[in-house]
Structure 1
Amino acid sequence: MKALGTASAAPGEIDTGRLQVGETRDGSDFGLPVAVVNGAEDGPTLYVQAVSDGDELNGLGVIQRAVPQIPPEDLSGTVLVVGIVNYHAFQVAEHRNPIDDTKMNRTYPGDESGTSSERISAATFEAASRADLILDLHQGSTSQMLNEVRVRCGQRHRLHDECLELAKVFGCGHVLDQKGPEGQLARVGPDEGIPTVDPELGGCIGWDEESIQYGVEGVFNVLRYYGFLDGDVDLERQTRATGFDRYGSPCGGLVRFRKDLGDAVAVGDVIFEVTDPFGQLKAEVTADDSGLFWRSRRLPQVATGEYVCSVGTNVDEF
């Protein structure tokens, strides 16, 4: 039997349940939705989680579609799934955990006696630490963003090559290979010897079917490439960025973009303009470095200094 929380599956079976991690404000127990897919044959373990940011739902869309398609009778190994990590933020459709005003993916490996977010991180990391591979499904919040996979361990990390290979296998077409902030699962996992990546499946309000399909295909690419399921995976060349330039607005007004997602950007190119409500130009913002137009805000109105867009830099193919 393989178990996660109250989910327990014999070989060749799948089961769902809850991973209890605390109580809500009225004293009721709450648990995260979990699934165990236990293969008929022995093999490695894959851990998958989604919604560590409460408004990032594309990963949940991937789990909702992918898990019913995994045939446990044909599987070699085990897939452990936490469908919704940031329970409290998901309930109110917010990015951060409203109980402690914390971004969950900055609290790993967690603390079982700590804050709400730290306790959830500790419980999910205990499950993740049983795995041979980790997929932490995200999206670019409600911004517009390329479908990409992030390698967050840093290029000097002993597991960097394994993480980069996992990103290529997942196969979104774009990879951001840049060391991430402390407390990210995609940084802590490799420190524990587990190749871990952070697929960022587009960016939207609600969820987006195209990005979800990228994620479903990515999960099955991983299952086939690493021997969980039979089948071949053709590794296609990926576009990689190792830098990330963020641009804010020099003034308040309305943004008009001069680049679309995925467009090449050269030094000095105008990437966006800011106008007043009557269309009069107030500012032009140009690129400091060459690269790819990677991410942009969704709403046009901005205040001085507010985030507008990002350009992936130091771009190559691998």
Structure 2
Amino acid sequence: MANENGEQLDRRGFMIGSAATIGAAAALVAGSTELKAASTPANAATTGPQATAYTGDVIDGKKVVTSLDVNELEAGQTHRLYFQGAQAPTGQHWHVSVTVAKGARPGKRVVLTSGVHGDEMSSIHTVHTVMNQLDPTKMSGAVMAVTDISRPALESMQRRWPNQGRGLDLVDMNREWPGNENGLTAATRHAGLLFNRLLRPNADAAIDFHTGTTGFEVAAFNIGEIDRPEVKAMLDLYPVSQILNMSKSAYPTVLHNAFLDVGIPAFCPEIGAARVLDREMIALFVEGTMNVLKHYGIVDGPMGRTAEGMAVFVGNSGFPVLATAGGIVEHLVKLNDKVVPGQKVAIQRDSFGEVVAEYTAGVAGEISGQRSDAMSEPGNPLLFILFNKTAQDGIEIYPE
């Protein structure tokens, strides 16, 4: 994403103050290229399902697998397994929860993922709620849910994977896809194992659920390429009023784009604030996801609410408003509010209560995210405005 001075920023800057994923202050350069181990390509695994491989271990009554083919699971049942991921420094493995609702009849397979970032609770609850509504005896195909992809990040409810390579290094798992089973960090190896042996082989379509990050909340919106007919069909099934239309080429290393890279239609919902359960927003995305499962013929029943009849705002960029001072932030607009250039959107006061900064919108659009922490230091994103930028201005990053 470029700021108003034309500088390029890391997509993380859209969502986090220290760095979505940007305006008047300095920012980080987008996604450094990860070194790859020479011995094995990043995606050396299969292009289709591998045979299910059990380790023989059982954790809390659930069998452990190192690869999975949902076609081999018994039909008409819900299966709960652990997938063996990368090893922790102690030599034990990070085990990832896998739930498969295997329909009684053949059909499409949809993969639902969450927990790529460890502070995103509403995304996890959304997937849990969908899975708890499914009755495999009345389904076709299969729905697979993986809700704790970045296990070490979830253990402390923080955004990034705490990698122990050269001292503590916080790795954003959504810069690692499709991963590399022989890569230089545990996080990229974990991503490679998951993508090659669990996610990709079992998906005809995929949805990767996220929220805002700690200290920054977002509106209910979806990120996806509307020029891809299968993706557009899914986006239209959600009763949310914002879409960020983002090209895969902007950030190929995020999970839903890794699916797109191998021909699997995918997109990314964004569900409010981190570290909390926003039940009102969750309900919207549960309804939309059930619509997607009906769209693919996995479950029966009438469609719920969709985008039809809604005033959906579609933008291709996010304009950042970054703090230029430290102090307490007072927002003058709310999520989903329309703004125009020059409109005052926030003010900031110091410890004496004096106004030290005022912030205005630089574009016409809708508020898609705002800082939820009441204090800010210079450089933190205060707001993001979803808007449409012309093609000649280049590709923008997206918030997630």
Q: Do Structure 1 and Structure 2 share a fold, with TM-score over 0.5?
A: yes
Cα-Cα RMSD: 2.1
Q: Taking structure 1 as reference, are residues 294 and 200 closer, same or farther at Cα in structure 2, changes over 3 Å only?
A: same
1:132-179 residue CA offsets vs partner (Å, 9 max, x unmatched): 11000100123221011111x5x6xxx623222222223333211123
Q: Separation in 2 of the partners of 1:69 and 1:270?
A: 44
Distance 1:134 1:254, change over 3 A: same
Instruction: Look up the match of 1:128.
Output: 199
2:99–2:145 CA contact under 8 A, matched in 1: yes
* Conserved 8 A contact 2:220-2:272: yes
Provide, for residues 273-311 of structure 1, a one-character-per-residue CA deviation record: whole Å limited to 9, x for no partner.
112223222221111110001101111212222221101
Alpha-carbon separation, structure 2, partners of 1:137 and 1:124: 16
1:50-199 alignment, distance < 5 Å? 50-99=114-163, 100-114=169-183, 115-126=185-196, 127-130=198-201, 131-142=203-214, 143-151=216-224, 160-179=228-247, 180-199=250-269
Structure 1 gap segments, 5+ residues each:
none
Q: Deviation at 1:94?
A: 1.1
Shift of 1:244: 0.6
Deviations 1:232-271 (A, max 9, x none): 3254243212121011112222211111111110111001
Counterpart CA distance in 2 for 1:171 and 1:197 is 15
Higher relative contact order (CA 8 A, sep 6+): 2
2:272 counterpart letter in structure 1 = G
Q: How far did 1:230 drift?
A: 1.2
User: Which residue does 1:225 correspond to in 2?
Assistant: 295
Where do 5+ consecutive residues of structure 2 fail to align? 1-50, 54-63, 164-168, 390-400
The alignment partner of 1:101 has SS state of strand
**Deviates further, 274-283 or 104-113:** 274-283
Going from structure 1 to structure 2, the CA distance change for 1:252 and 1:203 (only over 3 Å counts) comes to: same
1:271 aligns with 2:339: no
Out of 231, 234, 257, the position equivalent to 2:331 is 257
In 2, Cα distance between equivalents of 1:124 and 1:247: 36
TM-score (norm 2): 0.73
Q: What TM-score does the superposition give when structure 1 sets the normalisation length? A: 0.91
The share of aligned pairs that are identical, in percent, is 26
Cα distance between partner residues in 2 of 1:232 and 1:68: 18
Classify the secondary structure of the residue corresponding to 2:158: coil
Could you tell me how far 1:15 is from its partner in structure 2?
A: 0.7
CA distance in 2: counterparts of 1:190 and 1:206, whole angstroms:
29
